[in-house]
Homo-oligomer: A and B are copies of this chain.
Amino acid sequence: MAKTNKDARPKARLPKGLRDIEAAELRAQNAMLDKIRGVYERYGFEPLETPAFEYTDALGKFLPDRDRPNEGVFSLQDEDEQWLSLRYDLTAPLARYVAQNFQTLTKPFRRYAVGRVWRNEKPGPGRFREFMQFDADTVGTDSVAADAEMCILAADTMEALGFERGEYVIKVSNRNVLDGTLEVIGVTDRRQQLAVLRAMDKLDRLGIEGVRELLGPGRRDESGDFTRGAGLTSEQVTIVLHQLEAAYDEKTTFDNKVQENLSSSRLRNEGLSELVEMRRIYTSAGYDDGQILINFGVVRGLEYYTGPVFEADITLDVKDEKGRPVRFGSVGGGGRYDDLVARFTGQKVPATGFSLGVSRLQAALTALGRTGSAAVGPVIVTVMEKEHIADYQKLVQTLRSSGIRAELYLGNPKKFGKQLEYADKRGSPCVVIQGSDEREKGEVTLKDLIEGAKAAAAIKDNKEWKETRPAQVSVKESDLVSEVRKILARHKS
């Protein structure tokens, strides 16, 4: 529907799947970002910011048989009619950056990035078309130590954000183990392979028995809906499940179990020994299986990863406002991807990375009531006499110069009750009042709003205010800052 009537006023509305983020949420988000940044910096990663959009071909988002970009991305054309697309993650722009600057980069190249990404997908509850990611990647090393480091980085980040041990887990698997398993059971049809991987991916949600059904003929859920299975034989199913169950082994026997599981598949053995080495590294660095756990149910992106894959899960059970249990599941993930830069240069560049879904994490922290305390509202200097507005502004500036959050009431000052109502809505700790009597005596009146909030509603005008004056104290103008500080200190405790 193109816009046709130029004279009609536009409707003030947001495009589908987008949203505004208001003060309280934004403050909590910034606090989160600072904590994540702190961990990534401590790990030696360096920040990088790439543009919001790139050439569509550089993002790898042309459909195989078309001249138009993939529908999953938002795309536009520049003046030369070349296609541009908004970035849908932070890894594709990193690959472009690395390919473009390969000669001059210090390698291994460790970079972190935080920013919004956009996906042209169907929005839903909690699913937006614009959201924020926070990534760390190490490019130019094939050392499994780099993958192990991503897992401990993820664990440290979850703990820095306030999750305690047992409330989260970093789950680790390896694409070579998965592909090797397909080799072992002799599944070569691409569609059947994907069905097997999708079934394995459901381990945490459906348990071993659910996965058994999905690997075989299929599964009917509680609502009666039937999902067709991968159609494996019972022998094939046994092999796959045996592997999945390794995740539930006692820690001490893990290495032995792996030995037992070695098989005719070179791929699978390679993947397993990488996992053993990763576990040796993060265990030696002080992380246990309560924090980082090998779990073959982790599949992640099907086309993308080439080695170890990992996922950060919140394991804590939470209830929503209506008391229903909420499972947050995965709030981040990543893995080794050795082919992304080769798309440009033809040369394989080994890389591994971890990406946190900031918006998802924040939703979890909010539901857990762990977003920290709200910001203190500003002290409001009220206006009793409009002609003295310059004097009131001076009081405001005195407070600000001392680092106190303060503002002048800028609405219509006629109704004093409105000024108090405004201060109340802003969460002000106190208001400053100066009428002509006070000005003559060189005084100001401070009203503690948190104690006096109830009385305020009843006051109608400046006259009534002067007569009643609830919950307040008169101080010398020269003591303004110290007296306001006393009130602020009272509210902090």
Contact = CB atoms under 8 A, between A and B. Distances in A.
A397 interface: yes
A465 interface: no
A243 to B, nearest CB: 25
A282 B391 CA distance: 10
Contacts of A408: 145, 149
A20 B140 contact: no
Interface in A118-174: 118, 120, 130, 138, 140-141, 143, 145-146, 148-149, 152, 156
Given A344-B12, A393-B149, A407 B43 contact: yes
A95 to B, nearest CB: 8
Contacts of A60: 10
Interface string A394-430: 1011001001111110110000000000100110000
Contacts of A149: 393, 408, 410
Contacts of A141: 410-411
Interface string A238-249: 000000000000
A422 B41 CA distance: 17
Nearest to A30: B47
Given A23-B47, A400-B43, A344 B97 contact: no
B43 A411 contact: no
Given A1-B81, A76-B75, A22 B48 contact: yes
Nearest to A55: B15
A21 interface: yes
A205 interface: no
A10 B344 contact: yes
Contact of A58 (B10, B74, B84, B377): B10
Contact of A118 (B2, B52, B67, B100): B52
A145 B407 contact: no
Nearest to A141: B410
Nearest to A379: B44
Interface stretch (A102-110, A316-324, A447-455): A102-110
A84 B15 contact: yes
A58 B13 contact: yes
A97 B13 CA distance: 8
Given A10-B57, A12-B100, A393-B145, A21 B42 contact: no
Contacts of A78: 15-16, 120
Nearest to A396: B285
A6 B64 contact: yes
Nearest to A12: B99
Given A42-B403, A138-B410, A50 B10 contact: no
A422 B105 CA distance: 11
A23 to B, nearest CB: 4
Contacts of A53: 15, 18, 74
A101 to B, nearest CB: 8
A64 B12 CA distance: 19
Contact of A2 (B4, B83, B403): B83
Contact of A4 (B67, B283, B345, B378): B67
A393 B83 contact: no
B62 A6 contact: yes
A343 interface: yes
A108 B396 CA distance: 16
Contact of A425 (B26, B65, B106, B146): B106
A67 B2 contact: yes
A55 B10 contact: yes
Nearest to A418: B107
A390 B3 CA distance: 63
A42 B400 contact: yes
Contacts of A81: 1-2
A1 B405 contact: no
8 contacts: A3-B82, A12-B345, A23-B111, A41-B405, A78-B120, A149-B393, A286-B394, A286-B397
Interface of A: 1-4, 6, 9-16, 18-23, 26-27, 30, 41-44, 46-58, 60, 62, 64-65, 67, 74-76, 78-84, 86, 95-97, 99-100, 106-108, 110-111, 116, 118, 120, 130, 138, 140-141, 143, 145-146, 148-149, 152, 156, 280-286, 343-346, 375, 377-378, 380, 389-391, 393-394, 396-397, 400, 403-408, 410-411, 422, 425-426
